[in-house]
Amino acid sequence: MTSPTTPSMRVAIVNDLAVACEALRRVVASDPSLSVAWIARDGAEAIERAARDRPDVVLMDLIMPRVDGVEATRGIMRASPCPILVVTATVTGNAGLVYEALGAGALDAVNTPTIGAGGSVAGGAELLRRIHLVARMSAARAWPTTAGSTTAATNAPMTVPTTAVMSAARLSVTASTPNATATSAVPLIVAIGASTGGPRAVADLLRSLPKDLRAAYLVVQHVSVEFVEGYAQWLAAETGRKVVLARAGGVPREGEVLVAGEDRHLALTRAGLLEYRDEPRDHVHRPAVDELFTSLVAYPRAGVAVLLTGMGRDGADGMLALRRAGWHTIAQDEASSVVWGMPGAAHRAGAAVETLAIGAIGEAIVRAARRAGAGTS
């Protein structure tokens, strides 16, 4: 039980079905730390209500009249950004829309609870677990307090945070200059990290790249582990590429997109083998972009690292170390990011060689790959 002085988490419900709204209301009311902020019957109303009264969490349905859940998520993230949890009749049945909503800025997805014959609510415990999980994720990522303030100014001073300096110092022991004979035997790596809004950004980026570019792709996307296999399948369908989950002991191959697929940190060893690591256990994200990027410092061929839209600063320290190790590093710019947290942190730390709109990153990767001797075949 929460104490009387503890403020409750205000939860907004967006659903056009009265029975679904009632099920969600009962679940929220069953937790003393939660309260219902407001209920909207479609996406257009949700955007308007969020602008007037921003809640702590939004429970967003997907299929609704006027404005669906994907567009409502996009609208709220643009005007009144706040944590959004997709709540739909069937996550697996609506997988395509789920990943579109995640690409628009939603943080997670769960099936809608149902009211049984006796009035009991099935699925309520899982919904409560996801609400609190989203709340913890949000607390770690620092949401903007006003519309349009998802970033710091683009002309902010290029200072290096203390954590980045410490990280780079720790990694300098393992960093090495790429060996000309070794690089010819290993593929060029394009490493991509993303979080909030990332599914759509990653798909758009991969689709913009020529399929005969002689590079292997490693992707860390912050998404619940139970969704990652479906995410890989969705990404393959969106891009027309071979997208598979990274397996421990495997090796990156040219043209293949490998997605981190476990609740552990994906890394690439100096020998070019994929592995999953438990440490650091206290990292906010598992897998973490920073852990992939830092592991690549010792890789015998400098490649390209890209940090896309997302809250927080995961990936910024690792990207700084990669830039110092000779990699070409690219951060997504503020205007094209759903949230300019991670790429913004990299930009301000001086970790990014280039800060570009999502539509320009593909061409920059191709140019960097050609300079590294890995153009199109």
d(C-alpha 260, C-alpha 227), whole Å: 12
Selected catalytic residue, list 61, 204, 314, 317:
314
227-234, Cβ contacts within 8 angstroms, sequence gap of 24 or more: 227/91, 227/98, 227/102, 227/109, 228/259, 228/260, 228/261, 229/261, 230/92, 230/95, 230/98, 230/99, 231/99, 231/102, 231/199, 231/259, 232/259, 232/261, 233/95, 234/95, 234/96, 234/99, 234/199
d(C-alpha 107, C-alpha 206), whole Å: 21
Q: Does residue 61 carry a catalytic annotation?
A: no
Selected catalytic residue, list 195, 295, 336, 337:
195
d(C-alpha 178, C-alpha 266), whole Å: 22
Selected catalytic residue, list 42, 56, 138, 222:
222
Contacts of 212 (CB under 8 A, 6+ apart): 255, 376, 377
Q: Does residue 16 carry a catalytic annotation?
A: no
Q: Does residue 347 carry a catalytic annotation?
A: no
Report the C-alpha dihedral over residues 268, 289, 327, 325, rounded to 10 degrees.
Answer: -80
What residues form DSSP beta bridges with 193?
220, 307
Catalytic residue set: 195, 222, 314
